[in-house]
């Protein structure tokens, strides 16, 4: 038989962190991160110009120098690619990595997540621009124009957004798992506390019942018993009954 954890009625819906809440929280965080990445301005004029120079170098008729042109052309292509990647990486660091890291760090604090591996993973969140990102976005045979350059930059940006969200969502899943496990631990503690409280209440009840029985058995009147009950209700603590004989 599978036993479901007892819920604590004193906890708010937010504190319960049940499966429904965690799914909603994760979905909401992904939307925030997606908006953050999409709003990133990673292609200002200078970076677009480097992208254009890189695309020009990929043209079949691109050539540098008259002598040893093959090696010079290759070196220039590599140089333009490296300059473009460096500039793009710098913008991604400041406009994407930093902002996503801030969002994730805020959730670590708000959810009181103490797992050191998760904390480190958030602190080291980083999207690296590799050669394939700028190479694969190229459309072979396309006519180089202002419109094509903008289109190329948008494809590169979408690739970066996709990478960012996949990595961030993986971290969010680990956060949700940590919260879920923490909730289960609290639920188990709640069960133990509830059982202990029940035992205490039962003990107090039986003690008071015995005291009332003693009053009545010792020729105490019902009025004496009612007076004791009133005192219990007023003080809300176990009382010792010192009545003897006729309860005087």
What does DSSP assign to residue 97? I
Predicted TM-score (pTM) of the model is: 0.67
- Residue 98 in this model has a pLDDT that exceeds 50: yes
Phi-psi region of 244 (alpha: psi -120 to 50; beta: other; left: phi over 0): beta
Q: Are 133 and 159 in contact (CB under 8 A)?
A: yes
Higher per-residue pLDDT: 17 or 41: 41
SS3 68: coil
Predicted pLDDT of residue 224? 65
- Residue 151 in this model has a pLDDT that exceeds 90: yes
Higher per-residue pLDDT: 222 or 177: 177
Pick from 128, 125, 121: nearest CA to 92: 128
CA-based radius of gyration for the chain: 35
- Residue 153 in this model has a pLDDT that exceeds 90: yes
Predicted pLDDT of residue 240? 47
Predicted pLDDT of residue 211? 67
pLDDT digits 0-9 by tens, 176-188: 999 887 766 544 4
The dihedral of CA 140, 143, 144, 148: what is its sign? negative
- 156 pLDDT tier (thresholds 50, 70, 90): very high
| Strands (DSSP E) found in 94-179 | none
Predicted pLDDT of residue 20? 85
- Residue 237 in this model has a pLDDT that exceeds 70: no
Q: Are 126 and 100 in contact (CB under 8 A)?
A: no
> What does each C-alpha distance from 44 to 33, 40, 73, 122, 130 come to in angstroms?
21, 10, 27, 27, 20
Distance in angstroms (rounded) separating the CA atoms of residues 55 and 80:
9
Q: Are 246 and 224 in contact (CB under 8 A)?
A: no
């Amino acid at each position: 038989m599978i036993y479901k954890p007892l819920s604590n009625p004193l906890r708010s819906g937010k504190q319960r962190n049940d499966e429904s809440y965690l799914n909603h929280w994760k979905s909401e965080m992904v939307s925030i991160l997606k908006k953050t990445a999409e709003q990133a301005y990673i292609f200002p004029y200078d970076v677009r110009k480097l992208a254009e120079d890189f695309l020009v170098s990929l043209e079949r008729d691109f050539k540098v120098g008259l002598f040893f042109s093959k090696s010079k052309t290759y070196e220039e292509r590599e140089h333009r690619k490296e300059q473009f990647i460096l500039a793009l990486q710098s913008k991604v660091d400041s406009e994407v990595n930093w902002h996503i890291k801030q969002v994730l760090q805020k959730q670590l604090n708000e959810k009181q997540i103490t797992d050191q591996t998760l904390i480190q993973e958030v602190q080291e969140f980083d999207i690296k621009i590799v050669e394939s990102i700028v190479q694969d976005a190229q459309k072979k045979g396309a006519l180089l124009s202002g419109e094509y350059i903008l289109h190329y930059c948008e494809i590169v940006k979408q690739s970066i957004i996709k990478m960012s969200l996949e990595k961030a969502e993986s971290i969010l899943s680990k956060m949700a798992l940590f919260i879920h496990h923490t909730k289960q631990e609290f639920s188990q503690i709640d069960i133990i506390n509830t059982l202990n409280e029940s035992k205490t209440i039962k003990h107090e009840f039986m003690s008071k019942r015995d005291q009332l029985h003693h009053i009545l058995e010792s020729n105490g009147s019902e009025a004496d018993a009612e007076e004791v009950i009133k005192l219990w209700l007023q003080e809300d603590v176990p009382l010792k009954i010192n009545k003897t004989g006729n309860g005087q």
